[in-house]
Structure 1
Amino acid sequence: MLPSNDPASGPGPAAEPSATPGRGDLDPRRKRALFRAWHRGMREMDLVMGRFADREMATLSEPDLVALEQLMDEPDQEVYAWLTGRETPPDRIDASLLARLREYRS
C-alpha cells in the first residue's frame, strides 16, 4: 500500500517535545521545565512556550531559567495578555524573556 498524500494522515510537523533534539542531555530541572512549557493548559501558550523551550532550554542561563520557571507559575491568561500587549506585565516579570517569547508567537 502506498503512503497517502493526505496531510491529515501523516505525522505532520513536529509540535510536541518528543521532537526536541538532545532532550536526553538535559538535566532533570530543565526536563521538568520543558514538560511544563508544553503542558500549560491553554493551547496557544503550549505552542508559544513549548516552541521556545524546545529551541532555548539547553542554552538558557541560570537567571533566564529562573525567570522562565517564575513565568510558568503565572496563570496562562495573564501571560498571554502580556505577550499580546493587551496588558502590561508587573515588574516581577522579566521583560527581556517576554520579548524573546513573543518571537515564538507567530
Structure 2
Amino acid sequence: MAEPVTAEDLRRLRWQCRRGMLENDVILARFLDRHAGTLERETLGHLRTLLEFGDNELWDLICGRAACPDARLSPTLQMLREA
C-alpha cells in the first residue's frame, strides 16, 4: 500500500504552488482543491518535478505548446490540464 500524503505535505505543496504567473496559480490551486484528498505520493512527486520548471515553461506544458520532457509526468500534466 502506498504511503498516504499527509496534511503537512499538502500544506507545503500549496506553498510551492504559489507562482509568479497568475494563470499557473489558478490552475495549480484548482488542481489541489480537486485532488488534495486523493493525491498519491507518486503524483505528488511528479507535481514537484513539474514545479521545478519556470513559469513560462510550466504554462507551455499545461497548454500543450511544449512536449512533456518525461513520459512519467504526462498523467499529472493531464490532471493539471483538466483542472
Q: Same fold (TM over 0.5)?
A: yes
TM range (shorter): 0.7 to 0.9
Specify the code of the residue in structure 2 equivalent to 1:32: R
After TM superposition, give the deviation of residue 92 of structure 1 in Å: 6.3
Computed over aligned residues only, the root mean square deviation of the Cα atoms, in angstroms, reads: 1.5
**Aligned structure 1 segments of 4 or more residues deviating by more than 2 angstroms:** none
Q: Counterpart in 1 of 2:7?
A: 27
Q: Which runs of 5+ in 1 are unaligned?
A: 1-25
1:61 aligns with 2:40: yes
Per-residue deviation, 1:43: 0.2
* Structure with more contact order per residue of length (Cα contacts < 8 Å, sep ≥ 6): 2
Which 5+ residue runs of structure 2 have no aligned equivalent?
Answer: 1-5
Q: Please give the alpha-carbon distance, in whole angstroms, between the structure 1 residues aligned to 2:9 and 2:22.
A: 23
TM-score under structure 1 length normalisation: 0.66
Identity rate, percent: 32
Distance 1:76 1:93, change over 3 A: farther
- From 48, 60, 65, give the equivalent of 1:86: 65
Q: TM-score, normalized by length of structure 2? A: 0.83
Structure 1 CA distance, aligned partners of 2:14 and 2:37?
10
1:27, distance to aligned residue in structure 2 (A): 2.0
How far is the alpha carbon of 1:59 from its aligned partner? 1.3
- Decide which structure has the larger Cα Rg and report it: 1
Q: Is the CA contact (8 Å cut-off) linking 1:71 and 1:93 kept in structure 2?
A: no
- d(CA) in 2 for partners of 1:57, 1:102: 16
